[in-house]
Structure 1
Amino acid sequence: MVGAPLLSVSRRAFNSSGRLNVKNSLSSNYSTATKTFGNQSILPRLPIPELDATAARYKRSLLPLLSAAEHAQVSQKIDRFVKKDGLGQTLQARMHALDEQEAKLGLSWLDRLWLNRGYLEYRIPTVLNVNWWSQFRDHPDGLISQVPEGTITDFQISRSAGLVSGLLDYSNKINDEAIPPEASRSGPFCMHQIRHMFGTSRIAANPRDTIVTSCPATAKHITVIYKDQIFAVPVLGPNGETVPLKTLENQLRQVVSRVDQLPKEQLQPPVGLMTSEHRDTWGEVRKELETIPTNASTFSAIDSSLFTLCLDNYSSPDDKDLSHRNLAHGKGAHNRWFDKALQIIVESNGRAGINGEHSPCDAVVPQRTVESVLMQEPIVDNLATSNISQLPAPTHLQWSISSKTDQQLKAAQENVDKLIADYDSVLLHYDAYGSDFMKKAKVSPDGWLQMAYQLAYYRQYGKPCPTYESASTRKFLTGRTETVRSCSVESMKDKLALFGNAIASQSEYMKASSNGHGVDRHLLGLRCQMTPEEAASEEAAIFQDPSYWGSQYWLLSTSNTSPGDLSWGGFGAVVPEGYGANYAIAKQGVKMSISAWNSCADTDATSFRKTVRGVLDEFGQVAEDYLVQK
């Protein structure tokens, strides 16, 4: 699948409070490491599933989606593919050879294949289609009300400096391997992805994008964008030392002051708009721009920066259905650089959030980073007596563009305006119950939400649909995700007596996927080993059958980023006729976002939210009446 949704960890990775378990919960089979990457050497490699097991699981996942006759036909094609002398056995052998080759680089058979096929070869705009967003809880001091449009406030600068300071501290701790390694009850998690948050950018290119990153992250600057003007802003001392908050605030104020005093003719063009364009278009524009030394220097400063801070001189409405949209796409995609792995966005009233580019790491990794910073708010300045009270002045990055590029920017504006207008997204902050109640009913909270989505979709459309749920494979070296196909035969039965069976089916698939035995990545790996001649042969009928693509045409794409106490987020629906649903289950409530596309007459995020809410109410009442012990 391309354009993978916001990714989550398995529910088994959470403790009773809904937070990720850390090193203290390590199984007794593992030693307790203290260094960030201390467990890497003992992590198992991602397995290649057995062909017969994948075939059986794949067949079962197709049952609710096909008629009996269709299922019988495709089952014959699957059996032919996996038979003893079939093409599947040949491709399986090639996968093992690939795994041996990748092992020499410290990677699994899936790493580069998934990065390229799942992300870097994805050509439509990444904004709303790939990038994820997360809205932070309000500052403990609240937000400023009724801030005039066009204003930058002291509170905005103060909160921005605090967030920057916290992230810099986290980056330095990664460099020093001082972040405790994560783990679940089954053992340690791979910390590989944490290397790709800071100093990381996606580079548009043809026919495939690339990623630039640095670990340790040695840059001493971030990029700050204000009124579409991009600055390289020093934020660390000459030897990487952190500096007082006042010093960071001063750096940010310099950016604002310098931009506000610039004559109109000296304002640089909004080249950041191009990061919202089709990747082929942006790749060609960037390639041409880089031939000019001024532009090459600007690109280098942006790409190498630790992260980006966007200072918006406006505040989005308080309505949650509206405020989160600024984090997803901004005002017409201005004041953004969507290719940066991390973009911190702070509005003039102090509301803040993040927009993340998905390819270098899954959203749960930077989310955990940001939450560690949010837990410290209000950030206390412990460096007031630091010897470093002044840093080099911010550098206003310059562009040299032609009239051709100017026209391309205008086209990019038209295109992203259409994309934003097509984006349908609403939030549901459900407070009737949360994970505490679900556990009293002896039901997996993650399974509860998955069944709620299944029933809601069935009630809305009268049929089941292919459903994506992400499962973490971070128990393996360099593991990322696998698909849980949450739509099952059991989930299509809504009688109370079968509710437990449906939950058990989803939980079993989650466990299998987290253990590297899902269907979708394995089938992708096999398909990618074929020659063109093999792909066109009868032996490859499994991939030619409409059910192969149809079963992964994710009309429901879902992700769990619990608990949602400090932040909540979302992503765009991954197919034109589908929904994107991110959910975070806290002890006493659930926060979720539901997205769709207005261009599809059959989808409506607001209507689907109403149906989901009704199902949650119903589940709660049934659990209260029959499942919760009095």
Structure 2
Amino acid sequence: MANYILAIEAFTTPAKLECTKLLIKKFMGPDGIGQKCHQYLMDKREAEDNWAYNYWLNDMYMDVRLPLPINSNPGMPMPPVRFTTVHDVARFAALLLSGIMKHKELLDSGNLPIDRAGSREKNQPLCMAQYYRPLGSCRRPGLERDTQYLAERGEKSDEHVIVVCRNQMYCVNLKTSSRGRISETEIASNILYVLSDAPCLPTKPPMVGLLTAEERTRWATNRNLLLENEVNQNSILLIEKALCMLCIDEPLPNTFNAYTFTGATPTGYMVGNRDDTNMLHEMIHGGGSNYNSANRWFDKVLQIIICTDGTWGINYEHSFSEGDAIVNVIEKIYKNLEEKQSACNSVPSDPTPERIPWVITPQVDERIKQAAVAVDKAIGDFDLYVYRYKGYGKNFIKQCKCSPDAFLQLMLQLSYFKLYGHFVATYESASTRRFLLGRVDCIRASHKEALEWATAMCQGEGANVPLESEGEDDDARKVKFSIYNKDKLKELFRIACNRQTEIMVQNILGHGIDIPLLGLREASKEFNNGQVHELFNHETFQTANIFLLSTSQVATKSDAFMGYGAVTPRGYGCSYNPHADDITFCISAFYSCEDTSTTRFAKSLKESLDMMKDLMKDETDQTK
């Protein structure tokens, strides 16, 4: 509770902070239920593998009713490849699927090497459950709470993927009980079959995939309508049990939501005239009903997306695994791809791909049309920008004797402060894989040490802190500025950076605050007639859990980058990927919020990074 107060004081008014302290005192006191709640969790810890896992999974994913694309599923473009013929597409797809099968066999053998911590209690083994969940699994929508379909390990059956092209879905076997694993040449032949068959069908396929992009309760209702027919039951089960989805897309036009801001460094990839932002749109949502959003099944844990222009990447359902595990697998497969993309001979495969049938009633057809409208509206509101900062990268930051992650978190705080004059609740995921079934806790970067430094960095800019504080004197809400020299600014930065690192270490070692607070909130229902304690209903707690900045570092070995949507209509999402001499930021917001703008945030980010280069330049010169 003491750490909770420290975490919120930088963006909470004095009056609300005092009220929160009183509620904590009441909760923890002799007449409160705090000690009972704590003991309840202690007992739960002894009885379960991970007392927090289901609390966290339901709160973070299963109970959330928002659509998966943009709001939950991340997308990741990989380094583009070059295709000259349709045979190249089929060959590349076959190599990827062969890599998936090799990884699956490694999992089944039990020989997957164990990841180990690279720092802070170095070499400690990390939980590997996240590697075993994605293949053959699927999220299922529920009217109130979603569930997960998890493939049974060691199940002896045919192993297949779903290949979807032009909204037509096909079952492609990669391994059969009678023949074993199918060769890459045979897989490529099957992909060629799909590529030639899908465009030639006489009737337009039903855009069933659009239903998976809707609000979860609505999708659950529509799924139940589909399941009334036995043909659809078999089709849905075939999709859910598939190892993964392979989506072969027509590329989005280069004009799709493409823009740059004045002074920005040119973006990295250019496939034709497509830029980074355009390609990330393709991976996150597919572009809408007129493009590729029906060419998906967003509940599927892993969707590999290949565009005919050489753009490719993934979309993944987040509830089963964090980004690191998915990235590690895809990058390993990518690294092992054969250099030659030779045209494959047409070698017949047994069995040939089967097109997945659907029985669409007039009612379901109407629901698909409604889904198209909803999906297109959501995509039209999605403000996305991929910004590559070329001024410096990890090498410069390490010369400053700073943790790159702590440094960049503080840059995000400064960038927000420069735009809005105040701090907000900030989320950064911290891996808790040192614990069995551990997923993440929350590193909170909006602390008072960061606020004091950001205020000093903005000296003379006259920013106000527009906190909602009815009845408080306006003077109490203003930032008091002093003029600081560079040495003082560096000192404040070191203090903020040390505090940020301290919070990060607390989280990865299991001493974060958000998971225990979630547990106490849920436990309080046991002793409060099924209702959460007033501490957790208070406005301060609610504000502390509305993350107007939702961030994460997604590091890659290749020149790939992962992005996702903001988690609240008034906020920003921002992933970042620091390389040696540059940093890629994927910034997201919503156009419907007049106060947010990804290009404006990118400008502020560039200014903040440039300011730090100027501030720390003397120190880096001394290290050379």
- TM range, normalised to the smaller chain? 0.7 to 0.9
Asked if the contact 1:244/1:389 (under 8 Å) is kept, the reply is no
Structure 2 CA distance for aligned equivalents of residues 153 and 371 of structure 1:
24
Which residue is equivalent to 2:561? 568
Asked if the contact 1:316/1:323 (under 8 Å) is kept, the reply is no
Which residue is equivalent to 1:347? 307
Which residue is equivalent to 1:601? 594
TM-score normalised to the size of structure 2? 0.85
The secondary structure found in structure 2 opposite 1:568 is coil
Q: Following superposition of structure 1 onto structure 2, how do residues 531-542 of structure 1 map, counting pairs within 5 Å?
A: 531=525, 534=528, 540-542=533-535
The secondary structure found in structure 1 opposite 2:318 is coil
Asked if residue 529 in structure 1 is aligned to residue 523 in structure 2, the reply is yes
Change in 2 beyond 3 A, CA 1:536/1:281: closer
Structure 1 CA distance for aligned equivalents of residues 5 and 218 of structure 2:
40
Moved more, 556-565 or 122-131: 556-565
Q: 2:431 aligns with which of 458, 461, 472?
A: 472
Which amino acid counterpart does residue 108 of structure 1 have in structure 2? N
Which residue is equivalent to 1:292? 229
Asked if the contact 2:77/2:313 (under 8 Å) is kept, the reply is yes
1:589-624 CA-to-partner distances (Å, cap 9, x unmatched) read: 211100001110000001101110111121122221
Measured after TM superposition, the shift of residue 288 of structure 1 is 2.3
Which residue is equivalent to 2:609? 616
Which amino acid counterpart does residue 258 of structure 1 have in structure 2? D
Measured after TM superposition, the shift of residue 257 of structure 1 is 1.7
Change in 2 beyond 3 A, CA 1:536/1:258: closer
Q: 1:120 aligns with which of 62, 78, 86?
A: 62
1:225-269 CA-to-partner distances (Å, cap 9, x unmatched) read: 1111111111224368443322111011111222222112xx431
Which residue is equivalent to 1:15? none
Asked if residue 492 in structure 1 is aligned to residue 451 in structure 2, the reply is yes
Asked if the contact 1:204/1:282 (under 8 Å) is kept, the reply is yes
Asked if the contact 1:596/1:605 (under 8 Å) is kept, the reply is yes
Measured after TM superposition, the shift of residue 122 of structure 1 is 1.0
Structure 2 CA distance for aligned equivalents of residues 184 and 71 of structure 1:
37
Structure 2 CA distance for aligned equivalents of residues 544 and 535 of structure 1:
15
Asked if the contact 2:213/2:298 (under 8 Å) is kept, the reply is yes
Measured after TM superposition, the shift of residue 429 of structure 1 is 1.5
Asked if the contact 1:153/1:349 (under 8 Å) is kept, the reply is no
Measured after TM superposition, the shift of residue 136 of structure 1 is 0.3
Q: 2:18 aligns with which of 72, 79, 84?
A: 72
Structure 1 CA distance for aligned equivalents of residues 177 and 525 of structure 2:
53
Aligned residues: 557
Which residue is equivalent to 2:198? 259
Asked if residue 509 in structure 1 is aligned to residue 446 in structure 2, the reply is no
Change in 2 beyond 3 A, CA 1:392/1:110: same
Asked if residue 326 in structure 1 is aligned to residue 282 in structure 2, the reply is yes
1:417-457 CA-to-partner distances (Å, cap 9, x unmatched) read: 11000100001112221111111110100011000000000
Measured after TM superposition, the shift of residue 270 of structure 1 is 1.1
Structure 2 CA distance for aligned equivalents of residues 479 and 403 of structure 1:
45
Measured after TM superposition, the shift of residue 508 of structure 1 is 0.7
User: What percentage of aligned pairs have identical amino acids?
Assistant: 30
Which amino acid counterpart does residue 183 of structure 2 have in structure 1? P
Measured after TM superposition, the shift of residue 627 of structure 1 is 4.9
Asked if the contact 1:557/1:581 (under 8 Å) is kept, the reply is yes
Asked if residue 625 in structure 1 is aligned to residue 571 in structure 2, the reply is no
Structure 2 CA distance for aligned equivalents of residues 379 and 389 of structure 1:
24
CA RMSD after TM alignment: 2.2
Q: Following superposition of structure 1 onto structure 2, how do residues 71-220 of structure 1 map, counting pairs within 5 Å?
A: 71-102=17-48, 107-139=49-81, 142=82, 153-185=86-118, 186=121, 187-216=124-153, 218=155, 219-220=158-159
Moved more, 243-252 or 363-372: 243-252
Which amino acid counterpart does residue 422 of structure 1 have in structure 2? D
Which amino acid counterpart does residue 297 of structure 2 have in structure 1? W
User: 5+ unaligned residues in a row in structure 2: which ranges?
Assistant: 255-273, 454-488
Q: Following superposition of structure 1 onto structure 2, how do residues 392-407 of structure 1 map, counting pairs within 5 Å?
A: 392-407=351-366
Which residue is equivalent to 2:582? 589
Which residue is equivalent to 1:421? 380
Structure 2 CA distance for aligned equivalents of residues 457 and 610 of structure 1:
11
User: 5+ unaligned residues in a row in structure 1: which ranges?
Assistant: 1-54, 145-151
